[in-house]
C-alpha cells in the first residue's frame, strides 16, 4: 500500500498525461470535499455496477450511508474491492478542432474496501460527517436520528489509503496550424450555484431560516 502522505500505488498511477495527476493526501481530500456526490463501482457476479451516492470525509475516512435494503450497501458490507470516484466539472474546453475538445475538471479515484460501522458513536459520527457534507453546519440545526432511524441506516467507512487525483485547467491545446483558423475557441466556465432558498410550504409559522442555509446562500 501507499505510505505516508503519498496515496500512489501501481494501481493509482495516472498513466495518460501524468502531469495532470497527483497522489498526495491534500489533493485527494480537496477533490473529495469539493464534489457533491461520488460514484461507487463494484462487481456483482462479474457484472460491474457504478452507483451514485452521497459521501462525507473526515480525515482519512470516507463515509457513505443508506438503507440496509440497498444492494450497494449490502454488497459493500461484505468487504469486496471497490472504486469510488468523485468529479467536479469546472468548464467546457472548446478547441478549434473536434479532436482537442475537452473539459476542465478535478477528479479523485479511491480504491479500497469498505467496512460497516457498527459502533454507535462512530456510526453517529459518520452520519454527522455525511450530513455536514450535504450542507456545512446542518447537523447541529436539525433533529438527530431516533432509534428506529438509526437502526434503519447502514453506515460504511472506506479508509483513504490508495488514491489519485487528476485535474485539467486552462485553455484548449490546439495544433499549431489551427490557431490561424477563424473559429472561436476558449473555455466556457461551469459552476454549480446555490439558488435562493425555497421555504417548505409546511414550515411551522415563524420559523427563521437556518444559519447553514443563510450562509450557503450568502457565500454563493
Binding residues for ligand FAD, rule: CB under 6 A, are 11-16, 87, 89, 103, 105, 107-109, 164-166
Least gap, CB of 31 to ligand FAD (angstroms): 8
Least gap, CB of 72 to ligand FAD (angstroms): 20
C-alpha cell at 201: 410550504
**CA atoms of 109 and 87, how far apart (whole Å):** 9
**CA atoms of 155 and 77, how far apart (whole Å):** 9
Least gap, CB of 30 to ligand FAD (angstroms): 13
**CA atoms of 214 and 141, how far apart (whole Å):** 12
Least gap, CB of 207 to ligand FAD (angstroms): 39
Q: Which is nearer to ligand FAD, 11 or 71 (CB)?
A: 11
Q: Which is nearer to ligand FAD, 16 or 202 (CB)?
A: 16
For 215, the enclosing helix (H) or strand (E) is: helix 211-218
Is-contact 214 120, C-beta < 8 A? no
Least gap, CB of 212 to ligand FAD (angstroms): 29
Q: Hey, which residues does 58 pair with through a beta bridge?
A: 61
**CA atoms of 35 and 88, how far apart (whole Å):** 6
CA dist 96 → 83, 103, 183, 208 (Å):
35, 14, 6, 51
**CA atoms of 81 and 5, how far apart (whole Å):** 22
Least gap, CB of 113 to ligand FAD (angstroms): 15
**CA atoms of 164 and 18, how far apart (whole Å):** 11
Amino acid at each position: 500500500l501507499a505510505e505516508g502522505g503519498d496515496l500512489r500505488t501501481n494501481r493509482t498511477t495516472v498513466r495518460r498525461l501524468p502531469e495532470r495527476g497527483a497522489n498526495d493526501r491534500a489533493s485527494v481530500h480537496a477533490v473529495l470535499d469539493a464534489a457533491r456526490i461520488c460514484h461507487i463501482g463494484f462487481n456483482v457476479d462479474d457484472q460491474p455496477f457504478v452507483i451514485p451516492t452521497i459521501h462525507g470525509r473526515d480525515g482519512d475516512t470516507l463515509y457513505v450511508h443508506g438503507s440496509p435494503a440497498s444492494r450497494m450497501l449490502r454488497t459493500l458490507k461484505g468487504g469486496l474491492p471497490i472504486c469510488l470516484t468523485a468529479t467536479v466539472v469546472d468548464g467546457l474546453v472548446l478547441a478549434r478542432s473536434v479532436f482537442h475538445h475537452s473539459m476542465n475538471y478535478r477528479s479523485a479515484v479511491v480504491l479500497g474496501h469498505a467496512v460497516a460501522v457498527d459502533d454507535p458513536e462512530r456510526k453517529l459520527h459518520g452520519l454527522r460527517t455525511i450530513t455536514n457534507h450535504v450542507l456545512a453546519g446542518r447537523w447541529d440545526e436539525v433533529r438527530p436520528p431516533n432509534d428506529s432511524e438509526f437502526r434503519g441506516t447502514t453506515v460504511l467507512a472506506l479508509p483513504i489509503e490508495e488514491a489519485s487525483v487528476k485535474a485539467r485547467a486552462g485553455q484548449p491545446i490546439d495544433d499549431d496550424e489551427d490557431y490561424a483558423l477563424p473559429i472561436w475557441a476558449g473555455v466556457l466556465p461551469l459552476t454549480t450555484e446555490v439558488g435562493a432558498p425555497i421555504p417548505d410550504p409546511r414550515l411551522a409559522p415563524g420559523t427563521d431560516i437556518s444559519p447553514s442555509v443563510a450562509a450557503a446562500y450568502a457565500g454563493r
